[in-house]
């Protein structure tokens, strides 16, 4: 029974084209078991419905448009990239500003990011590197809206943390020029993911990081003792790590776990109920057989 239950949970959580047929065959054709199947299906519909609602507004299409626009920019096909950005703007305007689809803050963040990309991509005064970086920022924030787990901006952790580590080394070595260069590089990288973390993380965490950056940017930072500067960077580094740890925590989908637990509970309850009824039936049958034997 336990193995049977485990197999059922797998089939419910990872549905195949004929998963409902497998469930009915596994549970049997009795009325009670059909009711149980209906309960399981109801649980799944509750969690799948929001996903269908979002697909009506074609988030995946917007994600693909942003990716293609970035790839074209990398190939220096900026005119085509600009055309895709304009098309994105038209499609994006179709999405209602509603908390079930997109919040007003997220709407403003994405709008600001793609408008910035539009301004940059055809500007001959902007370097190719800066154009690609701006399109990357746009690509990441759209992905942040679409991806529930493992957003693309998390892949920048290694380069950002490596640059930050070099900043700390510069402080220890007393190399002010290298520190300023590495700090500017860190800011450029952090700016690329900034719209994405605005979408994915809470404002308090972002504000704390903003304060740390402001402290290091202040000219007075150079005048404080090395130990104090190092301590400030240590605290800032922990906050930075926490930002990337947050998306790792989100990799385990709580709603999916809830579906597994709920579905498993229903199945186990059904099996227990069926087993109990079978036990009572067999017990009654033995009593009946015993009474007939005694009469003889």
Q: Are residues 25 and 40 in the same domain?
A: yes
State the first-to-last Cα distance of the chain, in angstroms, to the nearest integer. 39
Residues 84, 86, 89, 91, Cα dihedral to 10°: -60
- Looking at the domain assignment, is residue 133 inside a domain? yes
Q: Are residues 78 and 49 in the same domain?
A: no
The residue length of the chain stands at 296
Q: How many Å apart are CA 226 and CA 242, to the nearest integer?
A: 24
pLDDT > 90: percent of the chain: 55
Q: Are residues 39 and 110 in the same domain?
A: no
- Looking at the domain assignment, is residue 32 inside a domain? yes
- Looking at the domain assignment, is residue 247 inside a domain? yes
- Looking at the domain assignment, is residue 258 inside a domain? no
Q: How many Å apart are CA 117 and CA 183, to the nearest integer?
A: 24
Q: Are residues 64 and 137 in the same domain?
A: yes
Q: Are residues 170 and 118 in the same domain?
A: no
Q: Are residues 41 and 103 in the same domain?
A: no
Q: Are residues 121 and 174 in the same domain?
A: no
Q: How many Å apart are CA 111 and CA 109, to the nearest integer?
A: 6
Q: Which of 153, 144, 138 shows the shortest CA–CA distance to 73? A: 138
- Looking at the domain assignment, is residue 256 inside a domain? no
Read off the pLDDT of residues 211-261 as tens digits, 9 standing for 90 and up. Answer: 999 999 998 998 999 999 999 999 999 999 999 987 766 544 444 443 344
At residue 201, the 3 state secondary structure works out as coil
Q: Which two tokens stand for residue 167?
A: 């900043």
Q: How many Å apart are CA 209 and CA 204, to the nearest integer?
A: 9
User: Exposed/middle/buried for 260, CB within 10 Å: 0-12, 13-18, 19+?
Assistant: middle
Domain extent, residue 96, equals 58-146
* Least reliable range by pLDDT among 45-54, 64-73, 139-148, 277-286: 45-54
Q: Are residues 161 and 212 in the same domain?
A: yes
Count how many domains the chain has.
3
- Looking at the domain assignment, is residue 259 inside a domain? no
Q: How many Å apart are CA 152 and CA 259, to the nearest integer?
A: 26
Read off the pLDDT of residues 48-96 as tens digits, 9 standing for 90 and up. Answer: 444 444 444 678 899 999 999 999 999 999 999 999 999 999 999 888 7
Q: Are residues 197 and 237 in the same domain?
A: yes
Q: How many Å apart are CA 165 and CA 213, to the nearest integer?
A: 15
Q: Which of 35, 13, 34, 12 shows the shortest CA–CA distance to 24? A: 34
**Position 168 pLDDT exceeds 80:** yes
**Position 185 pLDDT exceeds 70:** yes
Average pLDDT over residues 261-286: 54
- Burial code of 234-249, b = ≥16 C-beta within 10 A, e = fewer? eebbeebeebbeebee
- Looking at the domain assignment, is residue 78 inside a domain? yes
- Looking at the domain assignment, is residue 156 inside a domain? yes
């Amino acid at each position: 029974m336990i193995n049977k239950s485990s197999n059922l949970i797998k089939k419910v959580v990872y549905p195949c084209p004929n998963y409902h047929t497998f469930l009915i065959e596994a549970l049997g054709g009795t009325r009670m078991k059909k009711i149980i199947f209906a309960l399981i299906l109801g649980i799944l519909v509750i969690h799948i419905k929001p996903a269908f609602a979002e697909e009506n507004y074609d988030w995946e299409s917007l994600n693909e448009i942003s990716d293609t626009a970035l790839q074209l920019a990398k190939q220096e096909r900026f005119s085509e990239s600009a055309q895709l950005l304009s098309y994105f703007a038209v499609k994006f305007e179709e999405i209602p500003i509603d908390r079930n689809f997109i919040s007003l803050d997220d709407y403003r963040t994405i709008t600001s990011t793609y408008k910035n990309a539009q301004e940059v991509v055809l500007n001959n005064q902007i370097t190719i590197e800066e154009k690609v970086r701006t399109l990357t920022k746009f690509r990441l924030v759209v992905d942040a809206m679409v991806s529930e787990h493992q957003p693309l901006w998390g892949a920048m952790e290694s380069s950002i943390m490596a640059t930050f580590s070099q900043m700390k080394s510069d402080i220890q070595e007393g190399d002010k020029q290298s520190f300023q260069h590495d700090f500017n590089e860190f800011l450029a990288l952090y700016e690329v993911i900034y719209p994405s973390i605005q979408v994915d993380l809470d404002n308090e965490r972002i504000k704390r990081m903003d304060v740390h950056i402001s402290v290091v940017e202040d000219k007075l930072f150079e005048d404080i003792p090395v130990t104090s500067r190092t301590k400030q960077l240590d605290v800032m580094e922990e906050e930075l790590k926490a930002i990337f740890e947050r998306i790792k925590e989100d990799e385990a989908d709580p709603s999916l776990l809830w579906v597994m637990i709920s579905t498993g509970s229903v199945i186990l309850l059904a099996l227990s109920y069926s087993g109990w009824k079978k036990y009572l039936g067999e017990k009654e049958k033995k009593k009946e057989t015993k009474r007939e034997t005694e009469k003889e």
